[in-house]
Each structure stands twice: as structure tokens, then as C-alpha cells.
């Protein structure tokens, strides 16, 4: 990986959410909406570094690709720099989004939950009781 230019390093000193949202606005509404999602994705941790990385990375791409990548990442709830980068590297931003929303993995049942009936013994026709 190459070294960051003086301008890139200087931009990373900005600690304001507003600054990064304003930079994202230059790339269009889908990008600024996605950057807001990134900031809002964790109540405890500051997502400043994620937002900085995402915006500076997207600025290297044509606006149409940046917007499509953000729309895809937002659709899947993938609010990380790595997810956004993978979308662009793998050119997934050119793929159409599915017609139906994706349900979050944690929607109704915990990931490893089993139905209560799975804990009941299943007996066959030839029951032998010991």
C-alpha cells in the first residue's frame, strides 16, 4: 500500500461528523445517507474512522459507482469500510439489487435456536422400554 498524500493525511484530522457528511454530499444523496447510517450504526463506538475511510475511498471512484456501492451496502446493512471496498473491488455495484428487502439475520429467532419439538424424543412403531 502506498503512503497517503499530505492532503489525505490533513483531511483525516477532521473529527467532525458534519465535515464528513458534507464531503459525502458531494458524491450524492445515496452516499451521504450511507455515511449517516455508518455513523448511526453503533451507539457506543464512534464510527469516525469508518466514515473517513469510506468517504476517501469513494472519492476515488466515479460518482455513479460510489452511489451504487452505497446503495448495495445500505441494502444489506453492511456499514463497514471493508464491505464497501469489497463491493467496488468485486464490481458488485454493477449488479442489480434483489426486489425484496433482506431480513436481518436476527429478525425473529436467535441464530442457533431450535424448535421446542426438536427436544422431544421421537419414537418409532417398535417401542421398546427398558
DSSP assignment string, 31-53: HHHHHHHHHHT-SSS--HHHHHH
Residue 47 confidence (pLDDT):
86
User: What percentage of the chain has pLDDT greater than the value 70?
Assistant: 64
CA-based nearest residue to 84, from 96, 98, 106, 67: 67
In whole angstroms, what separates CA 59 from the centre of its chain? 18
**pLDDT of 1 strictly over 70:** no
What would the grid cell of residue 78 be?
453492511
Average pLDDT over residues 62-83: 95
pLDDT tens by residue, 48-61: 889 999 999 999 99
The arithmetic mean of pLDDT across residues 80-92, rounded, is 95
pLDDT at 85 over 70: yes
pTM over 0.95: no
C-alpha cell at 117: 419439538
| Contact status, residue 67 vs residue 27, Cβ threshold 8 Å | yes
Neighbours of 92 (CB within 10 A): 15
Q: Which residue has the cell 467532525?
A: 16
Amino acid at each position: 500500500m502506498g503512503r497517503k498524500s499530505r492532503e489525505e493525511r490533513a483531511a483525516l484530522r477532521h473529527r467532525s461528523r458534519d465535515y464528513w457528511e458534507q464531503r459525502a454530499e458531494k458524491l450524492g444523496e445515496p452516499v451521504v445517507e450511507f455515511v449517516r447510517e455508518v455513523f448511526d450504526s453503533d451507539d457506543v463506538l464512534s464510527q469516525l474512522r469508518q466514515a473517513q475511510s469510506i468517504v476517501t475511498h469513494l472519492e476515488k471512484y466515479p460518482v455513479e459507482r460510489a452511489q451504487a456501492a452505497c446503495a448495495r451496502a445500505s441494502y444489506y446493512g453492511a456499514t463497514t469500510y471493508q464491505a464497501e471496498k469489497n463491493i467496488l473491488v468485486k464490481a458488485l455495484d454493477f449488479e442489480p439489487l434483489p426486489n425484496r428487502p433482506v431480513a436481518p439475520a436476527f429478525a425473529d429467532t436467535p441464530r442457533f435456536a431450535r424448535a421446542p419439538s426438536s427436544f422431544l424424543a421421537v419414537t418409532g412403531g417398535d417401542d421398546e422400554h427398558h
